[in-house]
Amino acid sequence: MNDSSTPDRTTALSRTTAPARTTPGTPRHATRRRALRTLALAGVLSGMTLSALPPTAVAAPRTPETYTLTIRHLDRQGTATDAYRTHVTGISGPGASEEVTPHDASGTVTVRLPKGRYLLDSTVVGREEGSGTDWIVQPRLDLDRDTAVTVDARTTAPVDVRPQDPDARFLSRLGVVEVTHGGTTRSANVMAGPGLRVAHLGPDAEPGSVKEWFDTYWAGGTTDYALGYTFTSSRALTGLVRHPSPSSLAAVEVRRAAPDGDT
């Protein structure tokens, strides 16, 4: 509106500009020129001030791409099972910090995750007493599209590591896998009884990026056994058989002080 009470910036500056003084002998048109120059300068300054303060653009946070991962679990009979525990751990890419343990009673579970490289490992347990445990490891899961994976216990092979000592009794077993990609290492592990079976799942990872080891402990009549084997490759293990002879093992003799009167 023409009668607005709020002046624009140029007008405000011109109103605060002191009028040029007229000295005797100064032509009136020179005084007018000085006043016009002052007003022009005020307008230029006003324009520079406004152009020097552009609006600041605030970038909205970018939402990472996500994809659907569907995992189907089958037991040793090829039947869908709910007796499983599956971990999906991010290694690199936008999903590097992700870690989920999805589960659904139907045996098929769906989860949505950011794009990236993941490590998947799953244990499937039989329903019968003493039926053993299956550990399936996929060291390279590249989630760059909607993906479906089948964890099938029928693909596993036994971990049969024992000493050649008929009196040795099984105590415990630990399996560990480490996967490195993009300078980051992630790991998974399993502790299981004598009926453990294992399998690799999915494509090969990069050469030397998968490290896996198994430690098995046995107690004999006069000797205890700690049997450990380490492997480095592009895949997880599918089965492991080792029956070391006594001559192939390092021997450690443990002595302790006996109470008085004993040997």
Q: What is the pLDDT of residue 55?
A: 57
Statement: residue 69 has pLDDT above 60: yes
Q: What is the pLDDT of residue 59?
A: 60
Sequence ranges of the domains in the chain: 67-244
Q: What is the pLDDT of residue 73?
A: 98
Statement: residue 128 has pLDDT above 80: no
Q: What is the tens place of the pLDDT at every residue in 156-178? A: 999 999 999 999 999 999 999 99
Q: What is the pLDDT of residue 54?
A: 55
SS (H, E, C) the chain: CCCCCCCCHHHHHHHHCCCCCCCCCCCHHHHHHHHHHHHHHHHHHHHHHHHCCCCCCCCCCCCCCEEEEEEEEECCCCCECCCEEEEEEEEECCCCCCEECCCCCCCEEEEEEECEEEEEEEEEECCCCCCCEEEEEEEEEEECCCEEEEEEHHHCEEEEECCCCCCCEEEEEEEEEEEEECCEEEEEEEECCCCEEEEECCCCCCCCCEEEEEEEEEECCCCEEEEEEEEEECCCCCCEEECCCHHHCCCCCCCCCCCCCCC
Q: Which fold does the domain 67-244 belong to in CATH?
A: Immunoglobulin-like (2.60.40)
